Structure 1
Amino acid sequence: MKQPANSPQPHLAAPKISGSRPDVPVYNSQNLFAAGSVIYIDHQGERYRLQLTRQGKLILTK
């Protein structure tokens, strides 16, 4: 079944590190942060904030 175009899809990239597992998806941060510098992740009933800093680092807070 075809999904709607606006449905979130993982943006996969080929693993670049030798020895990485090919069965684990890799998400491109540029795609994750396309709409801004903050995204939220719901995990086991808790909401986490993932922020991209001006220096290009990631900060994960609960």
Structure 2
Amino acid sequence: MKLWPLWLGLAFTAVFAVLYYGGWVTAAAAFVVALMVAPLLYVLIVVLFFNDVRQRPPD
């Protein structure tokens, strides 16, 4: 399980928040939100798209 897309997304979110709002508080808040949401999205995508294929009974 490669986590580099997750960390890349978090980094871009934090940088965007700093540039757009110009505040470290906002950047920290965005980082925390991304940290909570990204794993949930990752798990959701894995469950929806890959769990189906793995648990399909043989014909």
- TM-score for the superposition, normalised by structure 2: 0.23
Higher strand share: 1
Flag the structure with larger Rg: 2
Higher helix share: 2
| Highest RCO, 1 vs 2 (Cα 8 Å, sep ≥ 6) | 2
